[in-house]
Amino acid sequence: MSDRPGPGMAPQGLLAIFAHPDDESFGMAGTLALAAEAGLPVNVVCATDGDLGGEGGTVAERVMDPEIRRGELRDACRAMGIGEPVFLGYGDSGMEGWGPPPGSLVLADPDEVVGRIVAVLRELRPAIVVTFDPNGIYGHPDHRAISRLATEGYRRAAVDPDGPRALYHQVVAQTQLWALGNMFAALESADEGERPAPTDDDRAQQQAFAAFAIPDDAIDVAVDVRSVIDRKLAAMRAHATQIRMPDGGIPPAMVESMEAALGRECFVRVDPQRVPGQRRTSLWEQPGGSR
Ligand SMILES: [Zn+2]
């Protein structure tokens, strides 16, 4: 990873701002790894500790040691070859209807959170900022919140003369849904361990995931990440409490479904305003070759 730009230098690199440890890896690990490979400074801001990420049907069963998930994110960042993560330290708000615990992101003063995001933007000085789209992929309250808060933080920092230059929202394309469904089915059938039955929240999440996917013609950047798929899978595997991935290599029978599901990462450009029909393949390489 290259160094962050000093005072007076143009903003450089990429900052991804998400809600939970693992959001970055499932959504855009390949793009982050490719940016690092291109020599850009790359970091992730993680707003919550994901401390309701345990398994179980009740909130109490889901509480977990925040340090476990922080450690998983640190390992994932190493796997992607990017810099250390920045933690904002808010609590996980849990799914819709759970009742957010004290200290959780959705109960925090929005001005305070935006102020902290602006401070990180002014310290790390990225050129490109990425967060969730307003629906947060599947509607998790923390995903929606960080989309709003990071977008507002970007807008405040972007008026600085040396502020960030572009904001993207990470999305799932409707044309990825089928491949993602196949991959999860393949992962489940490869897993010999005990797997808890899906809860009502799991089912609601799956429906929202399909409902909030984006039509292809609304996507501005589709990044082909197949060349770094191993790094993406290693980053996903680092979140061991969240997904069970096969040990070692991917079984040959699953390579195709994994590549179809995970080999493309999609983004909508928010600022500068999108120009419909101009599909690009990189967040940082401009058609003329400059960054
Ligand atoms: Zn999340």
d(CA 91, CA 102): 8
d(CA 224, CA 180): 16
Quote the ligand 1 centre to 20 CA distance (angstroms): 5
Return the CATH number at 18.
3.40.50.10320
Residue 7 lies in a domain: no
The pLDDT tens digits of the residues spanning 244-280 come to: 777 766 777 778 888 889 999 999 999 999 888 889 9
In total, how many domains does the chain have? Answer: 1
Helices 23-37 & 229-238 angle (0-180, nearest 10): 140
Residue 94 lies in a domain: yes
173: which DSSP letter? Answer: B
The pLDDT tens digits of the residues spanning 172-185 come to: 999 999 888 888 88
Yes or no: say if 93 and 55 are a contact pair by the CB < 8 Å rule: no
Residue 6 lies in a domain: no
Question: Measured on CA atoms in the order 207, 69, 171, 157, is the torsion positive or negative?
Answer: positive
**pLDDT band, very low/low/confident/very high, at 115 (cuts 50, 70, 90):** very high
At 236 the pLDDT is: 94
Domain, as residue range, for 192? 12-278
Residue 268 lies in a domain: yes
DSSP string computed for 270-290 = EETTP-TT--BS-SS--TTS-
Residue 77 lies in a domain: yes
At 54 the pLDDT is: 83
Query: What is the radius of gyration, based on Cα positions, of the chain?
Result: 18
**pLDDT band, very low/low/confident/very high, at 194 (cuts 50, 70, 90):** low
Mean pLDDT, range 172-200, rounded to an integer: 80
Chain position carrying tokens 């004290």: 102
Quote the ligand 1 centre to 111 CA distance (angstroms): 22
At 1 the pLDDT is: 53
Quote the ligand 1 centre to 66 CA distance (angstroms): 14
Quote the ligand 1 centre to 46 CA distance (angstroms): 10
Q: Which two tokens stand for residue 268?
A: 């909508």
Q: Is the pLDDT reported for residue 15 higher than 80?
A: yes
Mean pLDDT, range 143-162, rounded to an integer: 97
d(CA 137, CA 122): 27
The pLDDT tens digits of the residues spanning 97-110 come to: 888 999 999 999 99
Quote the ligand 1 centre to 136 CA distance (angstroms): 8
d(CA 201, CA 95): 8
The pTM of the whole model exceeds 0.75: yes
**pLDDT band, very low/low/confident/very high, at 195 (cuts 50, 70, 90):** low
- CB atoms < 10 A from the CB of 177, how many? 14
The pLDDT tens digits of the residues spanning 77-98 come to: 999 999 999 999 999 999 888 8
Helices 252-262 & 229-238 angle (0-180, nearest 10): 90
Quote the ligand 1 centre to 259 CA distance (angstroms): 22
d(CA 50, CA 65): 9
Residue 289 lies in a domain: no
Quote the ligand 1 centre to 284 CA distance (angstroms): 25
Mean pLDDT, range 66-80, rounded to an integer: 96
d(CA 38, CA 165): 18
Residue 234 lies in a domain: yes
Quote the ligand 1 centre to 68 CA distance (angstroms): 15
Residue 62, by phi and psi: left (phi above 0), alpha (psi -120 to 50) or beta? alpha
Quote the ligand 1 centre to 195 CA distance (angstroms): 20
Residue 177 lies in a domain: yes
Quote the ligand 1 centre to 250 CA distance (angstroms): 24
